[in-house]
Structure 1
Amino acid sequence: MGAGINRFVLLFVLALPPSGIVMGQMRGNVVGNDSSRPNVLFIAVDDLRPQLGCYGDKVAITPNIDRLAKMGVVFNRAYCQQAVCAPSRASVMTGRRPDETKVWDLKAHFRTALPDVVTLPQYFKQHGYDTRNVGKIYHDPKNAQDPISWSAPEIMAVTDVAGPKYILTENLPTEGSWKAAATECVDVPDSAYVDGKVGDAAVHLLSELKDTTFFLAVGFRRPHLPFTAPKRYWDLYEADNIPWPAHDRAPENVPAIALHNSVELRGYSDIPDIGPLSPQKIRELRHGYYASVSYIDHQIGRLIDELERQGLLANTVIVLWSDHGFHLGELDLWSKTTNFELDTRVPLIVASPLLHYQHVHTDALVELVDIYPTLADLVGLPIPPGLAGTSMAPLMENPDRAWKKAVFSQFPRPWMYKDKPEVMGYSVRTADYRYTEWIATNDKSIKAAELYYYKDGVETANLVNQAAFSEKQAVMKRLLHDGWRNARPENTGRPDLSVKN
């Protein structure tokens, strides 16, 4: 980044209220609404991997997300804490990691383990923000929601009231069966499907909130399976130009526990229960994923346009994140639920009106758990104690500065367990390597280990216990066992308020 931009940024940074100083007047435990604080538009996209133009994808048609990228900071190396919906979202919204929330599956609620935890939107509500939710922010079922987080009831937060995934009669659920096709392409308006309805509701709500100081969370479900999107988004792509999966076989020497049988995809009516997918089906699925991404990109563009129309763009922090990545045939896997790169790496873009960048990228390692303290920091709220992430605001001030040594993810086996997981796979990622240990939950014995070097961007061979990599394995093992607290950046200028063991 040029020195001229750095000087310009510094002037705005000096104008930011320091962390720990609360603006406004206290009303009990609620801080009065200070209209000088920025609004927050918090956009979550389900199953979105960094398959976007601003991340270098030459096929993806994502002009609106690319536009957002030009307004802020693109985090090239952002990682989720667990690569499946409920655990990742619980981690983001509480600012805690899965072993603290105790949410490792799709059933547990974070308030069982943390009944008094203050969620991200709840914290903003306590400080005078009007906090609203449209679409999927927490996991889908009604019992997974958290009404105390919001100033008003959620809108279309769960699929049974949000809108349809399918249009075609043959794909509509019937009594005793939920199975339908994994893709659908129909010439209908955007609002025929659920995410168009979410986009409509969010745009309307922005006009309602324009005279408040708001935290608006908008959650889109595509490109989660099924890959259903209006035909015009499919037509953006030539099927023959859809790239084939890179490295479409499992890594050499990979332990079986690290893999899965793509059960999420196998549940669809046009997908075989076992065995390989045909080349035609692989291309169709990948085409459907791209179409779904472009469909959501258009909805995001509508939100940015409405902010601009209402005169709110210059006073709104925008964050775009995905709960986890996704395999599209790479490593012979489909969907998520692993510790591999394509499942754990996510897109993350943050644009702040007080930090004037022009399409800045950073290669610093960051995590989704960092979003909570970052948003508090950016709007001038004190960073609350107990969070397991680190504010990225100093990194946004200087995207080239030294930052985290490593980031951490995990995944249980078996994935759908009864009482508790039998084994937990703990994974640490540095700039070039990933090391994972699969640890039994009863006796803490190591059942398997993995070491990968990312010279090709994906896992090609497990290098664990190879003599040439013994030194690197020892370093990575030590990083993993030292844990996330010891991998944090030094001298951020922000207080360390994380829980100490």
Structure 2
Amino acid sequence: MKCIVSCYLRLFRYGNVKFFLTICCCLSVLPSFSQQKKNVLFIVVDDLRPALGCYGDRVAVSPNMDRLAAMGTIFKSAYCQQAVCAPSRASFMTGKKPDHTKVWNLTTHFRKALPNVITMPEYFKNNGYYARQIGKIYHDPKAAQDARSWSVPELFAVTTNLGKYVLDSNLVRAPKANAAEAANVADSAYIDGMVANAAIKELQLVQKKPFFLAVGFRRPHLPFSVPLKYWNNNAGKVFPLSPDTAAGLHVPRYSIHHSVELRGYQDIPDLGPINKELSAELIKGYYTAVSFTDEQIGKVFSELSRLKLDQNTIVVILSDHGFHLGEHGMWGKTTNSKIDTLVPLIIYDPSQTKAPRATVATVELVDLYATLSDLCGLPIPKTDGQSFANVIKGKPYLGRGMAFSQFPDDMKFDQQPKVMGYVIHNNRFGYTEWIDLPTGKVLAQELYDYHADPAENANVAAKPKYRRQVAFFHQQVGLYRK
């Protein structure tokens, strides 16, 4: 810097071209802020529906995610591509829809169908970034990981009971045990506390080089096992039960499940309805787990700010899918409903001062690959998604206005699905079409009018007044499948 100042003074005094060239030489060896690569902190939360204060949830305690939302852009109409862990994560990490990754279950690896696909972190790595993963980014099993995506080996990508439960009394029927746990331990006794601490250390190490740091938190995924202090914080709160516990009217059997994921826990009845008392405890457990994860995210973002990396780091918070809390008598995910496919998505970009605080623009998680590349000034790769960077920049967004998701009728671990449900969401409707894949025959249709029925309580696909909408969405499903 002293060299530059000296050169400017001499240039002013003598008007010498030689010294002008010297200035240019000095400037060339210093990093330019405008040319400096933006970092990416990519935070993935498991099973998080929009149960956050920034989404208008009045009982949620999520001050850290709310704070980030107030600084950036909150997406009110963001949808995943399939409402279960492995397919959703394979989709947004590759920028490919499930019908292209061929990942519809929990065991298939996306490289079986796409051996040479360049994943999102791999793309950043190939463009000079240090790509690092901490926690659950791909699905949990070791076989689901992808070493090619990262600059160094995965950390906390796979968990066992270590950090998942800490009480011996909760391991009577491992690995499922109880659906919730309150242990008087530090945050770091659980896996998400470990992940937050590791992410903080990683930020301290990578602060001088461009990075793509992916951090994955497992709560509020079942079991709702978090330290006692978070339960104590919610001790006097009343968490309302779902008002829509009955099955919807005229809903095909394909759209209904019996909460198999929850039934596996030892303190949950194998059959029959979940009574009000147990429902209240489960809902409280879910929100308590959300608060625990929010605290861990707050720790990571605070360290990012302390290191002043927030001035040049795009922060993304997303969930892989939503989660039923008793609505229509179901618990968990694995449906095409809005409850399971609508996800929280918050993006903070420090360079965008005109970013809207909230948007109802319909976007998809498969769009993230192109969007982050765009925001970071990288060539936008060809994916199944599209960049919605203009939304964050406060500019017009020429998106499709629709989001596409899908789910098979019966998720087999080692078989191709025979019946697939394709769903389209926009700001007015939710439409699902169930197709027999071998024949192409349409087995059932669902249409929900969100102006009249935001909770999807009544399928109106057969009503004559919606004939035009059903025909339009049927055509769009056909285009999507090509």
What TM-score does the superposition give when structure 2 sets the normalisation length? Answer: 0.90
In structure 2, what is the Cα distance between the partners aligned to 1:441 and 1:53?
A: 41
**Equivalent residues in 2 for 1:240-319 (5 A)?**
241-319=238-316
Q: Which of residues 423, 437, 443 is equivalent to 2:439?
A: 443
The answer on whether the counterparts of 1:364 and 1:402 sit within 8 Å (CA) in structure 2 is: no
Q: Distance in 1 between matches of 2:230 and 2:110?
A: 37
Matched, 1:40 2:36: no
Check if 1:398 corresponds to 2:397.
no
Given the alignment of the two structures, is residue 432 of structure 1 paired with residue 422 of structure 2, yes or no? no
Task: Give the letter aligned to residue 56 of structure 1.
Answer: G
Residue 478 of structure 1 and its aligned partner are, at CA, apart by 2.3
Q: Which residue of 1 aligns with 2:403?
A: 407
Distance 2:60 2:104 in 1: 32
Query: 1:487 — aligned with what?
Result: none
Shift of the alpha carbon at 1:457?
Answer: 2.5
TM-score between the two structures when normalised by the length of structure 1 = 0.87
- Matched residue of 1:217: which SS? strand
Residue 171 of structure 1 deviates from its aligned partner by: 1.2
Measured in 2, the distance between the counterparts of 1:471 and 1:427 equals 17
Write the mapping of 1:318-357 to structure 2, written as runs, cut at 5 A.
Answer: 318-357=315-354
**Cα distance, 1:164 vs. partner?**
1.9
Q: Kindly provide the CA deviation profile for residues 355-407 of structure 1, in whole angstroms up to 9, marking residues without a partner as x.
A: 1247610001000001000110001000112x011111112223664532211
State the partner residue of 2:418: 422
Alignment partner, residue 64 of structure 1:
64
- Match of 1:373, SS state, is helix
Q: Deviation digits for residues 2-49 of structure 1, max 9, x if unmatched?
A: xxxxxxxxxxxxxxxxxxxxxxxxxxxxxxxx9701110000000001
Aligned counterparts of 1:426 and 1:405: Cα–Cα separation in 2: 16
SS at match of 1:313: helix
Aligned to 1:172: 171
CA contact (8 A) 1:229 1:292 kept: yes
Which amino acid in structure 1 is aligned with residue 146 of structure 2?
D
- Residue 418 of structure 1, CA deviation: 3.5
Q: What is the one-letter code of the residue matched to 2:312?
A: N
Indicate if the aligned counterparts of 1:362 and 1:400 stay in contact, CA closer than 8 A: no
Match of 2:183 among 183, 186, 189: 186
Q: Which runs of 5+ in 1 are unaligned?
A: 1-33, 485-500
Distance 1:280 1:390, change over 3 A: same
Give the residue type in structure 2 aligned to 1:157.
Answer: A
Q: Which has the higher Rg, Structure 1 or Structure 2?
A: 2
Q: What residue ranges of structure 2 are gaps of 5+ in the alignment? A: 1-33
Q: Does the CA contact (< 8 Å) of 1:362 and 1:399 recur in 2?
A: no
- Establish whether residue 158 from structure 1 lines up as the match of residue 158 from structure 2: yes
Q: Which residue of 2 aligns with 1:99?
A: 99
Q: What's the counterpart of residue 146 of structure 2?
A: 146
1:104 alignment partner AA: W
SS of the residue corresponding to residue 241 of structure 1 reads coil
| Equivalences for residues 457-468 of structure 1 within 5 A | 457-468=454-465
Return 110-119 or 183-192, whichever deviates more: 183-192
Partners in 2 of 1:440 and 1:315 — Cα distance? Answer: 49
Contact 2:64–2:297, Cα closer than 8 Å, also in 1: yes
Name the counterpart of 1:494: none
Deviations 1:58-77 (A, max 9, x none): 11010000011012110000
Give the equivalent residue in structure 1 for 2:214: 217
Note if contact 1:327-1:342 (Cα within 8 Å) is conserved in structure 2: yes
Q: 1:417 to 1:308 in 2, by over 3 A?
A: closer
Cα distance in 1, alignment partners of residues 355 and 299 from structure 2: 21
SS in structure 2 opposite 1:347? Answer: strand
The alignment of Structure 1 onto Structure 2 pairs a total of residues equal to 448
**What root-mean-square deviation, in Å, do the aligned CA atoms of Structure 1 and Structure 2 show?**
1.6
Indicate conservation of the 8 Å contact 1:198/1:220, yes or no: yes
Q: Which residue of 2 aligns with 1:3?
A: none
